[in-house]
Structure 1
Amino acid sequence: MTEDRAEQAEQPNTNGNSEQPWRDTSRAPRERAELLVGAMTIEQKIAQLHGAMETINIYNIELPEDLSEAADQFRVQRHVAGIEELGIPRFRITNGPVGVGMGDGYPSPSATSLPMTIALAAGFDPKLAHEYGDIIGSETATLGQHVLEGPGLCLHRTITAGRNFEYFSEDPYLSGIMGIEVTKAIQAHDIIAMAKHFVLNDQELERFRTSVEIDEHVLRELYLLPFEMVVKDADLAAMMSAYNRIRSVYASEYRHTLTDILRGEWGFEGYVQSDFWSARSAAPSLNAGLDHEMPDANWYNEENILRALEDTSLEIETVDRALVRRFTQMFRFGQFERTYAPGEIDAKAHGARAREIGAQTAVLLRNDGLLPLDPNMPTIAIIGQQKFAAEACLGGGGSSKVDPLYTVPPLEGMQDVLAGLGSEAKVELFTVADDLSNLEDARMVASGADAVVIMAGVVASEGEDMAEPLLPNNQNRMVAELLTANPATVVVLKDSNPVLLPWIDDARAVLEVWNQGTEDGHVVADLVFGVVTPSGKLPTTYPRDAKDTLHAAHPERYPGTDEGDGYPVIRYTEGLGMGYRWFQSQGIEPLFGFGYGLSYTTFDVANVKVDALGGVRSRVTVTATVTNTGDRAGAEVVQVYVGIPADGQPPKRLVGFRKVHLEPCEQQTVSIVIDPESSNHPFGVWDYRAHAFVDVEGDYTVYVGTSAADTPHAFPVTSTSNA
């Protein structure tokens, strides 16, 4: 079918008829899907099992250096071809999860470039996550797409992982809570949300080859947990399989996760799509639970499927099952009835929302009173390399990168905000060469200004991990030397990942704003001049030294070793000791820990109480009174952790949090309920014999505070009822 005819096929079909009963919108989505599949020929079925890009062998293809040609193919062919005679529309898929990325259409649709997912997690606010997902879902619908490939739910096991910017945090509970809200908001727009990458795609290095070896309890309690939460609590419509092997079997063929756990235990009723080229077979992957191949028919083509059906390594019922799963979700969201009529995004309105989100995600790491800067000082210098000081830092290298509707660079953003404050301050931008050849000139500019804002950072990318957790292009030297040029110097970090900060002891003020996207310039200026008070908390730990990380001197943990099978094997031998759990279990003090973040105001958390009369087998309620004791409006995050009385468990795990916004001198009592029946199993450990989460005998400890390290309120809770 030609492209024009395929477009014509995308017309509303709401009236059922005796010949095509699946068009009857009064029928249940699954019934409609079964009726449709029952009417399809084998050729039509196979055509719907895969995307419509011309087959590319990714292992042999020579892609251009800038990937522009390959990217154009992704943009124009990110879809499944429609079938006019059956009323099946062209199925349009766009990447995420940091905005509408590479979508179907040429050129790829422009959209709002949002702060990276790691930044959203730093907001520690489910309402913020819902707002974020609402923007994405709205824009995906406006652009006529059907699927948004996001949220990303893998964990920050290593701080150098290339896709950490797409994932929320090192903590499964925080990742799950934020992922639930993003998913709900996307799907409220009748868009299929697709969580990814299922599972253990926690590194990009050798992602097509690596096998991950992991104990079952570690898999369950950490890496599967955010996926479980989103499946159970957000009614997730689709899942994307990962590239890596799991226990020597490719994730796209691993029945234990794709079927036994995902469907058998969690009750998932959506469909599973391969990551681009992550399918490695026809019959084995379909039998394991992979339902849809993207972006082409490298495996799910007529030759392979028909041969497998003939030799009975594949049954037609399995093919039907895969199609019914996807069509059910399309019918669920009314996508067969939707006319393709892409509209125009309200760039200004969505940009304003992105600005508000971004300001709430920044983390104030250090401040001796320098911040916020006085907007009425005569001269301010912005200094840094091109990508961070002269341009809006969009971030997100790889297929999830958003083509922005507009951007606000740092200089223009600062000038706008100062003008809004009635300031006549002169702002100068000095761009430092990537090779630091003009660093001495930068020092002279810094010494002559009344205040200096250094902008530095890292933009990580899909497809590669950072070699080490350092700012690229020798920016650490740049920062260190500029800090000596002017005592009124603020360091603004724009990072995709946590990095080492060797100059930290010489810095008076350090603000982590992450890769902000479209509204970068406004967000940074709002924060630097105190229009907004920073309220973010670190979603991932910043180590003092690379030797403190879980894989230092442990190549078997990362990057893996060849154990004789010809591919790298990564062993998660650290067990449950990952992220802040690693640092606490090893007694290592990080530079800045999980949940940490300062403010321009101060808070007092008092009257902390824990109601746990029923022990951990009943709901535990934590209450606390939070008071803003400073002279600025701001927000604090009350965090609740639990210590589990079992061997191998880390000292603490996050089980609850609440962000509270307060005016000066305002007081509010917050209540956080920890439900043992909730999808994150807050008090549970994986029991191999019971094949389930159970609570163990002994004395648990509930910790309450404002970061993983700062929990001054501790309460014992028993595992059995006191009644």
Structure 2
Amino acid sequence: MTQRTWEDTALTPKQRAEALVAAMTLEQKIAQLHGAMETIDIYGIASKATTAEEMEQLAAQIRVERHVAAIDELGIPRFRITNGPVGVGMGDGTPSPPATSLPMTIGLAAGFDPELATAYGDIIGSETATLGQHVLEGPGVCLHRTPIAGRNFEYFSEDPYLSGVMGVAVTKAIQAHDVIAMGKHYVVNDQEYERFRTNVEVDEHVLRELYLLPFEMLVKDGEIAAMMSAYNRIRGVYATEYRYTLTDILRTEWGFEGYVQSDFWSCRSAAGSLNAGMDHEMPDAKWLNEENIKNALSDTSLEIQTVDRALVRRYTQMFRFEQFSRPYAPGEIDAYGHGAISRRIGNEIAVLLKNDGGLLPLAKDLGRLLVVGQKTFAEKATTGGGGSSKVDPLYTVPPLEGLADVLSELDASVQVESVIVADDLANLADAVETAKQADVVVIMAGLVATEGADLPDMNMPHDQNRMIAELAPANPNTVVVLKNSNPVVLPWADDVPAILEAWNQGAEDGHVVADLLFGVVNPSGKLPTSYPMTADDTLYAGRPERYPGTDEGDGYPVIRYSEGLEVGYRWHQAQGIAPRYAFGHGLSYTTFEVGDVSVDAGTPGQPPVTVTATVTNTGQRAGAEVVQVYLGFPEACQQPPKRLVGFAKVAVEPGASEQITITVDPAATNHPLSVWSYAERAFVVPSGEFTVYVGTASDNTPHESRFTVR
């Protein structure tokens, strides 16, 4: 048989894609524009889901047929798509295949370490490939604009640069396994409230400098193969129909060569979406079906070249990763091998928020240790993440099991007890009495957020703040271990000596927390998002037009990003509001000194800016510190006080010193020295005096230097 042109591996992926599309009938083309799931009433079901449990029930209904049907006569394989970004979530098949339950993305960002992100993405890419899937829907790089957003656990940070750096590392690691990575949710899908209806109004410089920036980094630095368009409207137009973001910016400006998939049921039209630059509808053919496409072609609201373009874009990426020739042969995941890596990642992302008197790490001969908390956090491994990204774990290590394992490895003589507090706190008084008898009390508390619903407020659910407030006075040696997927308010923080944010850790929860409590590992994470003192200190407090939006006469909520660039730590610093714990904050069981800081701005007015510093471990334990570089812009630019432009994590032995170098390149894809110019329609480096801040948190930058751009 003569070889079909698209099977000629001497051709480029795009040439092969063009040859394949040229050989297809119209009906075959239309069949490949969409997923093969039968349409379900997602709108009706989602509108009734208000809790993580209800969203999981919804998820159970859509665990099948996350694919595009094969066309055997053309050699087009069944195109299998699985959800992310916190591991292999809902894959194609029934039931969804189990995989490694990793820490949530917000936790990964706390590592401030691209190497950790690479290890994280490597697990995801490897398992996606092992399970025979072609696409992993992730990473997610929307920002933590509000602390209550339901999908903050899937996103990295309130800072676009940190989000971009970590997202690029995850993307490259996934795609190294010949798996298509898909950046999401493009763009300003920063809330779950009324996500199918909400309209976001945002100024151009804010869109460019904050919300688009990590996506730009995914395209230019990560060479990401696919993007997922968001549910929401942008400036009155649905994201799947907004040509300005899908074509003008994504393709014309950034040079994106991949394809755009709709978020599930976010497609709102046939001709409108395809013309705007959306290429693939998932999970079904509600819009890109045969009747609609043929009608649109007939009335010329759609051209066949546009249909061809959409398919060529996707097939190009499939050929790029050799997915046409790969047989479907699912294998077995190395569950415990990948679990060991997950444990290492988890150990390096926990954030020590407070440690008065050096209560942590705990002594291995402390006597009686009481673990207390509600079932989700003190009895079970917190695998986290409700909704379509939830991973069905291969195994889990609950808290008490993890403690037993680690204490055995340490040959420790600690007597561990446990009290599980009812969600309604009915037995809280008994727990308080038991706490009085212990040598050390470890309270485990937190929250698990979910897709489909924002949190009602910044409090941990089931009255856990009251639980902690009543337990804390019972024992002076009380440690609070937080297992959160969003930042929370901590009204009791002054009443306990030690607080450790461990995040939703996933499968290795029990081992990771025990490692950290007993000093097997020295915590080195830094907060990737601010923890406000109270909910009144947030950008949306008393401002419903900022969130959840108001009806301005069109019948749907309009959310106005009127805070401009003042998001996260930029908000706190611009407004002069001190957070409880600032972006970049994180303590250690040792102490560090950052000195010999030098800033070289090169020839006057001709950066890059090179920052060098020496990090000395002045304590008794090995540990790691993160040096952070922020930039203050000329006053005329009207920017927030500081912008993160560089960071470096360095491990240092006791008494030793390590030198770090951080280069801030004005030509980098994050535009570190630039602002958006309305006049030039581009990023430009403004003239004037810049301030370089160097330190170990956004609110701890004692080293300052200045340079001038003329």
Q: TM-score, normalised by structure 2?
A: 0.98
Match status 1:598 vs 2:587:
yes
Distance in 1 separating the partners of 2:61 and 2:465: 38
Equivalent in the alignment of 1:10: none
Could you tell me the percent identity over the aligned residues?
70
1:137 to 115, 125, 128: 125
Q: Say whether the 8 Å CA contact 1:56–1:298 is kept in structure 2.
A: no
Equivalent in the alignment of 2:659: 669
Structure 1 residues 11-44: Cα deviation after superposition (integer angstroms, max 9, x where no partner) = xxxxxx6462111222110000000000000000
Structure 1 residues 167-191: Cα deviation after superposition (integer angstroms, max 9, x where no partner) = 0000000000000000000000000
Q: Say whether the 8 Å CA contact 1:616–1:683 is kept in structure 2.
A: no
Distance in 1 separating the partners of 2:441 and 2:604: 54
Q: Which amino acid aligns with 1:657?
A: F
| 1:657 alignment partner, SS class | strand
Change (3 A) 1:376 1:61: closer
Distance in 2 separating the partners of 1:68 and 1:99: 16
Alignment of 1:408-419 (within 5 A): 408-419=397-408
Q: Say whether the 8 Å CA contact 2:59–2:387 is kept in structure 1.
A: no
Equivalent in the alignment of 2:695: 705
Equivalent in the alignment of 2:512: 523
Distance in 2 separating the partners of 1:308 and 1:264: 25
2:178 to 180, 190, 210: 190
Where structure 1 has 5 or more consecutive residues not aligned to the other structure, the ranges are: 1-16
Match status 1:533 vs 2:522:
yes
Q: Say whether the 8 Å CA contact 1:57–1:298 is kept in structure 2.
A: no
TM-superposed CA distance for 1:58, in Å, is 2.4
Equivalent in the alignment of 2:352: 364
Structure 1 residues 232-281: Cα deviation after superposition (integer angstroms, max 9, x where no partner) = 00100000000000000000100000000000000000000000000000
Match status 1:511 vs 2:495:
no
Equivalent in the alignment of 1:214: 202
2:278 to 275, 290, 297: 290
| 1:659 alignment partner, SS class | strand
Distance in 1 separating the partners of 2:252 and 2:604: 30
Alignment of 1:151-550 (within 5 A): 151-368=139-356, 369-550=358-539
Q: Report how many residues are paired.
A: 704
Q: Say whether the 8 Å CA contact 2:45–2:58 is kept in structure 1.
A: no
RMSD: 1.2
Change (3 A) 1:614 1:516: same
Q: Say whether the 8 Å CA contact 2:630–2:642 is kept in structure 1.
A: yes
Q: Which amino acid aligns with 1:116?
A: M
Distance in 2 separating the partners of 1:135 and 1:662: 27
Change (3 A) 1:68 1:155: closer
Distance in 1 separating the partners of 2:606 and 2:23: 50
Where structure 2 has 5 or more consecutive residues not aligned to the other structure, the ranges are: none
Distance in 1 separating the partners of 2:265 and 2:301: 22
TM-superposed CA distance for 1:431, in Å, is 0.5
Match status 1:87 vs 2:72:
no
Distance in 2 separating the partners of 1:624 and 1:488: 37
Structure 1 residues 60-89: Cα deviation after superposition (integer angstroms, max 9, x where no partner) = 458898466653453221111100000000
Distance in 2 separating the partners of 1:616 and 1:473: 56
| 1:673 alignment partner, SS class | strand
| 1:59 alignment partner, SS class | helix
Q: Say whether the 8 Å CA contact 2:352–2:587 is kept in structure 1.
A: yes
Q: Say whether the 8 Å CA contact 1:162–1:460 is kept in structure 2.
A: yes
Distance in 1 separating the partners of 2:603 and 2:388: 49
Q: Say whether the 8 Å CA contact 1:98–1:115 is kept in structure 2.
A: yes
Q: Say whether the 8 Å CA contact 2:56–2:387 is kept in structure 1.
A: no
2:569 to 574, 580, 585: 580
Equivalent in the alignment of 1:110: 98
| 2:474 alignment partner, SS class | coil
Distance in 2 separating the partners of 1:445 and 1:372: 22
Change (3 A) 1:533 1:299: same
Distance in 1 separating the partners of 2:373 and 2:579: 27
Q: Which amino acid aligns with 1:52?
A: A
| 1:323 alignment partner, SS class | helix
Distance in 2 separating the partners of 1:58 and 1:341: 32
Change (3 A) 1:169 1:615: farther
Higher mean alpha-carbon deviation, 331-340 vs 422-431, is at 422-431
Q: Say whether the 8 Å CA contact 1:376–1:423 is kept in structure 2.
A: yes
Equivalent in the alignment of 1:558: 547
Alignment of 1:639-678 (within 5 A): 639-645=628-634, 646-678=636-668
| 1:160 alignment partner, SS class | coil
Q: Which amino acid aligns with 1:36?
A: L
Structure 1 residues 107-157: Cα deviation after superposition (integer angstroms, max 9, x where no partner) = 111000000000000000010100100010011011100000000000000
Q: Which amino acid aligns with 2:472?
A: L
Q: Which amino acid aligns with 1:653?
A: R
Distance in 2 separating the partners of 1:68 and 1:537: 31
Distance in 1 separating the partners of 2:263 and 2:559: 21
Equivalent in the alignment of 1:611: 600
Higher mean alpha-carbon deviation, 54-63 vs 357-366, is at 54-63
2:27 to 40, 43, 62: 43
TM-superposed CA distance for 1:396, in Å, is 0.4
Q: TM-score, normalised by structure 1?
A: 0.96
| 1:360 alignment partner, SS class | helix
Change (3 A) 1:116 1:703: same
Q: Which amino acid aligns with 1:219?
A: L
Q: Say whether the 8 Å CA contact 1:379–1:426 is kept in structure 2.
A: yes
